Amino acid sequence: RKVLLEKFKNISGSNIKIIDLDTHYSKEIFSNLKLEKEMADSKFILSPPGRSWTTTRHVNLSCFNCIPIICEPDIQTVNLELNDGKNCIKYKNLKNLELEEKIFEIENLIKKLYYYLEKPNHELEKISKNWRDHIFENHTVEKKSLYILKTLENYKRKFNI
C-alpha cells in the first residue's frame, strides 16, 4: 500500500489526495465524519485487501459514489465480483510478486488511472453505480450469513459431525 501511495502522489494533474489512515490513526484522531467527507469528495479510492472475507472496506466504498481501486483478493470473498473497468479498477496483489512484476503491475495501474482520469464524469459515475449496485445486491449481511451457514453445513458433512 505504501508503494502505491507514493506512486499515486506523483500522478501529475490528477488532484489525487492521499488519505493514509495509518498516519492519521497514529498521529491524530481521524473522525469518521472527516474520513467520509474525504471519501465523498473522491472519484477513486484505493481499497487494499482485508484480513478476512468479513472486511467491510469494499462495502463502505459503495456509499460514496467513487470507484474502488481493489487488488485481486488474496482472501476468499462472499459474492464479490471484481470486474475491471466495469465496477472497479483492479490490480494484482503485490504481496507475492517478484520486484519486476511489482513494478510492471504498479506501472500498469498508473496507466489505468490516467486512462480513467480522461473519461467524462458520466462514465466514471456508471462504474461507481455498477459497484454500488453489485454490493447492495450481492454482498449483504444476509448473504454473508447464508455463506457461513453453508460453510458450517459442509464442515459437518465432511467431518461427520
Residues 26 and 35: their CA atoms lie apart, in Å, by: 15
d(CA 113, CA 99): 21
All three cell numbers of 65, joined, read 459514489
- The Cα 93–Cα 102 span in angstroms is 9
pTM of the predicted structure, to 2 decimals: 0.75
- The one-digit pLDDT tens for each residue of the chain (161 residues) are 667 767 777 776 655 665 655 655 555 555 677 778 888 888 888 887 766 656 677 778 888 888 988 888 766 667 778 899 999 999 988 888 999 999 999 999 999 999 998 999 999 999 999 999 998 888 778 887 888 899 899 989 999 87
